[in-house]
Structure 1
Amino acid sequence: MQKICLSASLFFLSILSSFSQTAPPDSDSFKSRKLKAEEVNFVSSYYNQDGDNSAVTGGIGTEKLTDISSVFDISLTRTDLRNRLHTLRLEAGIDHYTSASSDRIDPNTISSASASDNRFYPGVTWTRLDAEKHYTLGASLSMSREYDYFSKGASFNFSQFSKDHNREFGLTLGAYLDTWKIIYPIELRTLATSTGLIPNPEASGSKPRNSYNASFVLTQVINKRMQLSLLLDLAFQSGQLATPYQRVYFQDKSVHVEHLPAQRLKIPAGIRFNYFATDRVVLRSFYRFYTDDWGITAHTAELEVPYKLTPFLSLSPFYRFYTQTAADYFAGYQQHGMQQAFYTSDYDLSAFNSHLAGLNLRLNSASGILGINKLNTVEIRYGHYNRSNGLISNSITLGVTLK
């Protein structure tokens, strides 16, 4: 099914390319203000993972999951009367996943509601480039929907760059307003009383979760071979931050749903350094420090080395190391004490190290690929991931660009 999706998308791109080539010529003055398709991108990926620390079953059990995703976007551009470039980017994405651990929310059924699901996420982004005044202004709207989750978001961005384009400062502000459908594990959907079982009033309805982000980026070209970027993010979340269908087993063998604070502040800060070692080799490095008020401190180090085999073909091996401390509220299966106000057995919040390694293959040609004149780029990326707690995953991504 995925192969059919990719073939159909490439066929669509070829049709769009043929239409763009047969457009009638225009005068220069009119052409500068005409709305035109500038770029089309299609990205499709396959992801699978497995492990033995499912949060749905209290930190034990299978984490087997597969995900197939496809994203399509098109960028339309137009120059206004003041010679400012406007870009409108329309995006649509869909994911389909299956999760063995989610099927354990209600093991008495053939398949739980969340055992497999589809996520649909459209978005639109507008930007305006004023080359004369050296700034870019933009805004975006997005939406995401799946079985138990609905999200709507908006963001604003501004960047100012120097006259020689060697320095740029960027600011992005975003807000995401989400709604969870409350789903409890099957055994916690009722309460025992002296008169028998009654419905648990906490096990139904919906609750909000809101996220607010501010990102700052300063980029500086040091010389012809070196470029440096400094990054700072501030993120604040409030509302339903715990996942209600994730179980937590206590030392007395009782079971509860995950319970976490209703607020969270995250502060990542990073540095990116690129060095053009030769005409064929580029070193792309990245480091990030992360901390939050849940007790997690993390470090990320990444290196990617693109190597040009030919002017049109490049290979990029990459490696990323990540380490974090555990959240204050984490403990494993049957390790929580009854005195704790907040608790989780989600191993995403545990202490662990992880490694991601892979290879990226990129084919780029201004004259076209596969006989399609406007097909500018074809890219394939494979990554293998493993954690110190046993989680292993593999992913492969195909991307094509039409210009």
Structure 2
Amino acid sequence: MKKICLTVVGLYIGLLAAFSQNKTDSTHYKNRKLTFDEANLVTSYYKQDGNNSAVTGGTGTENLNDISTSFDVKLNRWDKHNRKHTMDIELGIDHYTSASSDKIDPKTVSSASHADTRIYPSLTYSVENETKGTTLSAGLSVSHEFDYQSYGMNVSFAQKTHNRNGEFTARLQAYLDDLKIIKPFELRTAAEQQETHESSYPTASRNSFSTSLSYSQIVNERLQLMILTDLVYQHGYLGLPFHRIYFNDASEGVENLPGNRFKIPIGIRGSYFLGDRFVLRGFYRFYHDSWGLDAHTANIETVVKLTPFFSVTPFYRYYIQSAVRYFAPYSAHNPTDRYYTSSYDLSAFNSHFFGAGFRIMPPKGVFGMQHFNMLEIRYGHYNRSNGMQSDIITLNIRVK
């Protein structure tokens, strides 16, 4: 499997490098046909474990492995009014295996949710008017896996200030989702237990709408700041039908959550340049939602340029949240409660995420391949106060 992945990466670099040979080197001529600008290959391996699986009522293995790969190609052109048109085409593929999801039907050796593949293509088209300092963009996306289908759309507008030191951005997004109602096996009717074809499962809708606003400002030659906020509204089936609930009278049910959720995160991001070799980046966000969850996120990372072409980026993120008002652990819910969940993602906890990235951008290209202009590897370790831990390693290749 490792040899196959390396072969695919090699072919990807070779083909895109060959394609990019058609790109003109002239700084004066602006092509009015769509031409190759850059491409990115990002692939990662993620592994987690813990003992608070929502599939088994808040206790049990959370073991999960995920391999994710995305291909991103950017094409651009200039029209007769000197506006820059950019088309961004992306294809993502995730494949995971989950021990906890396999407990949906504990009587089988392996259920349909033990392993799944998610495919999510997207297309974004933008038009930038450099003279007016404006950018308009629109995008479409699709995501499909065994029990989930999502359709997304977005539009955005950006306006730079007169001196080009500031920029305001507004973005509208909508996701229209359908999910299959796959209950734990023991909670299905006799007829439902006999059905095994995926088309036999009933479905429910879940829709999400958001408005994102941000303003960035170059304060001086060393400091840049950005303020950002999102207004998010979700409506529909917001729980998961295979999350079990064990009540305090020994009865069993499935997670039940309100059909509406309103989220308000507000954040500030900053970058400070300490000479030519050091960049400090910081981020803070406060989050509140209508389910009673409050959270704080603080992140800091430092870019250290060991040479003009090689940099190391250590990072650390601290996160803390309160529980939603509907959470209780295993066997603690009252069967008379209106809403209930034992998902520890909605419990009170704090977490730490830390690691480092390594990036090389040699002037003659990575391994002497001129158009293979960037290679980055990042590793991060995550641990949560309830015992869940995870590791992720990511490889990013850019051809330009």
Counterpart for residue 206 of structure 2:
209
Question: Deviation at 1:368?
Answer: 1.1
Question: Deviation at 1:226?
Answer: 0.3
* Cα RMSD for the two superposed structures: 1.7
> Given residue 138 of structure 1, which amino acid in structure 2 is its aligned partner?
S
Indicate which of 339, 351, 358 corresponds to 1:342: 339
8 Å contact 2:19–2:36 — kept in the other structure? no
Q: Deviations over 1:146-202 (max 9, x none)?
A: 000000100001100123321000011000000001100000002xxxxxx6659xx
Bigger mean CA deviation after superposition, 5-14 or 371-380: 5-14
Counterpart for residue 158 of structure 1:
157
Q: 1:225 to 1:266 in 2, by over 3 A?
A: same
Counterpart for residue 396 of structure 1:
393
> C-alpha distance in 1, partners of 2:50/2:93?
25
8 Å contact 2:165–2:217 — kept in the other structure? yes
8 Å contact 2:43–2:67 — kept in the other structure? yes
Counterpart for residue 322 of structure 1:
319
8 Å contact 2:309–2:363 — kept in the other structure? no
Counterpart for residue 82 of structure 2:
83
> Given residue 92 of structure 1, which amino acid in structure 2 is its aligned partner?
L
Q: 1:376 to 1:24 in 2, by over 3 A?
A: closer
Alignment of 1:2-81 (within 5 A): 2=2, 4-21=4-21, 31-81=30-80
8 Å contact 2:20–2:37 — kept in the other structure? no
Counterpart for residue 225 of structure 2:
228
> Given residue 18 of structure 2, which amino acid in structure 1 is its aligned partner?
S
Question: Deviation at 1:18?
Answer: 2.3
Q: 1:68 to 1:130 in 2, by over 3 A?
A: same
> Given residue 132 of structure 1, which amino acid in structure 2 is its aligned partner?
T
> C-alpha distance in 2, partners of 1:64/1:361?
28
> C-alpha distance in 1, partners of 2:59/2:2?
32
> Given residue 151 of structure 1, which amino acid in structure 2 is its aligned partner?
S
Q: 1:39 to 1:24 in 2, by over 3 A?
A: closer
Alignment of 1:303-314 (within 5 A): 303-314=300-311
Question: Deviation at 1:14?
Answer: 1.8
Counterpart for residue 92 of structure 1:
91
Give the alignment's TM-score, normalised by structure 1: 0.95
3-state SS of the aligned residue for 2:10?
helix
Say if 2:251 is the partner of 1:257: no
3-state SS of the aligned residue for 1:305?
strand
3-state SS of the aligned residue for 2:56?
coil
> Given residue 143 of structure 2, which amino acid in structure 1 is its aligned partner?
S
Q: 1:28 to 1:305 in 2, by over 3 A?
A: closer
> Given residue 210 of structure 2, which amino acid in structure 1 is its aligned partner?
N
> C-alpha distance in 2, partners of 1:204/1:316?
46
3-state SS of the aligned residue for 1:10?
helix
3-state SS of the aligned residue for 2:55?
coil
Alignment of 1:245-324 (within 5 A): 245-324=242-321
Question: Deviation at 1:65?
Answer: 0.1
> C-alpha distance in 2, partners of 1:105/1:50?
18
Counterpart for residue 123 of structure 2:
124
Question: Deviation at 1:51?
Answer: 0.1
Counterpart for residue 193 of structure 1:
none
Q: 1:283 to 1:184 in 2, by over 3 A?
A: same
Counterpart for residue 139 of structure 1:
138
Moved over 3 A (4+): 22-29, 197-200
Counterpart for residue 106 of structure 2:
107
> C-alpha distance in 1, partners of 2:309/2:365?
11
5+ residue gaps in structure 2?
A: 194-199
Alignment of 1:184-199 (within 5 A): 184-190=183-189
Q: 1:15 to 1:51 in 2, by over 3 A?
A: same
Counterpart for residue 356 of structure 2:
359
Say if 2:375 is the partner of 1:385: no
> Given residue 282 of structure 2, which amino acid in structure 1 is its aligned partner?
S
Question: Deviation at 1:365?
Answer: 2.6
8 Å contact 2:23–2:36 — kept in the other structure? no
Give the alignment's TM-score, normalised by structure 2: 0.95
Aligned residues: 394
Q: 1:248 to 1:23 in 2, by over 3 A?
A: closer
Question: Deviation at 1:273?
Answer: 1.2
Question: Deviation at 1:279?
Answer: 1.2
> C-alpha distance in 2, partners of 1:300/1:156?
27
Identity across the alignment (%): 52
Q: 1:24 to 1:102 in 2, by over 3 A?
A: closer
Question: Deviation at 1:204?
Answer: 3.9
Q: 1:198 to 1:124 in 2, by over 3 A?
A: closer
> C-alpha distance in 2, partners of 1:372/1:176?
40
8 Å contact 2:283–2:299 — kept in the other structure? yes
Q: Deviations over 1:234-273 (max 9, x none)?
A: 1110111010001000000111000000010010000001
> C-alpha distance in 2, partners of 1:386/1:350?
15
5+ residue gaps in structure 1?
A: 191-196
> C-alpha distance in 2, partners of 1:318/1:76?
32
> C-alpha distance in 2, partners of 1:375/1:117?
32
> C-alpha distance in 1, partners of 2:25/2:157?
35
Q: Deviations over 1:323-355 (max 9, x none)?
A: 000000000000001221000000000000000
8 Å contact 1:73–1:91 — kept in the other structure? yes
